[in-house]
Amino acid sequence: MPHLDIIDLSADYAHLKVLSGVSLSVEKGEVVCLVGPSGSGKSTLLRVLMGLTLPTAGAVKVDGREIDYHSKASVRAARDRMAVVFQQYNLFQNMNVLRNITIAPVEIKGRPRREAEEEARRILARMGLAEKHAAYPDQLSGGQQQRVAIARALALKPEILLLDEVTSALDPELVNEVLDAVRGLAAEGMTMLIVSHEMAFVREVASKVVMMDKGKIVETGAPRELIDRPKTERAREFFGKILRH
């Protein structure tokens, strides 16, 4: 049974179909990277999974249990098992790093503050930010802020982590420190669905690569197969262009 099963999923935005019959299975511990041109539906897929955009058709199952996106309780239960990090850090500027990470576990999940802070410090150490717990966001680099955003998601103890272009807002020299943090999570066996345009990273970390275009899945395969030897004309065109630059 797949850990995450997406079945014939569709979604509209302002009468425009942004997902059309997307089906994808993700096994426990698998790292699936979504690639494709801008506007292909990659980020929308993550938004639908989290209940931020409602699907118009299809189903999403976690360990065989279907999420009812019209039920607040069902969406809340899904968010207990999945967490998302977007390309913008969205940190609270008036709170230090430790507070940014612990506010949701304490205020929403009801965990004891001391327990949440101890867990946050452990996660910060994993992210290479142990000494930054008392810093405020404007005292951090973009790469450090993005790692705090990842730490904040991990503090919710998700089984599945969704990452949406987490390096796209960063200066080039800061990209690797965030990718290193994601590499560490992959090595630890975290199930992840990653939207990325960093092809060298995708080739290295992905168990499976999914190329999307115009709200549909064009082709799926192992990284070296899909990137180096795509079968469809659209995939050959896409990878041919991006790998030349």
In a domain, 99, yes or no: no
Domain count, the chain: 1
End-to-end CA distance of the chain: 39
Cα distance between residue 198 and residue 212, in whole Å? 15
In a domain, 145, yes or no: no
The domain that holds 183 is classified in CATH as 3.40.50.300
pLDDT 10s digit of each residue in the chain, 245 long?
899 999 999 999 878 899 999 999 999 999 999 999 999 999 999 999 999 999 999 999 999 999 999 999 999 999 999 999 988 878 999 999 999 999 999 998 899 999 999 999 999 998 889 999 999 999 999 889 999 999 999 999 999 999 998 887 777 777 888 888 899 999 999 999 999 988 888 998 999 999 999 999 999 999 999 999 999 999 999 998 886 65
In a domain, 103, yes or no: no
In a domain, 78, yes or no: yes
The pTM assigned to this predicted structure is 0.92
In a domain, 107, yes or no: no
Q: Is 59 helix (H, G, I), strand (E, B) or coil?
A: strand
Q: Which domain holds residue 50?
A: 4-90+160-242
Cα distance between residue 236 and residue 228, in whole Å? 9
Alpha-carbon separation of residue 121 from 28, 113, 115, 126, 128 (angstroms): 26, 12, 10, 9, 10
In a domain, 18, yes or no: yes
Number of Cβ within 10 Å of residue 45's Cβ equals 29
Cα distance between residue 226 and residue 107, in whole Å? 44
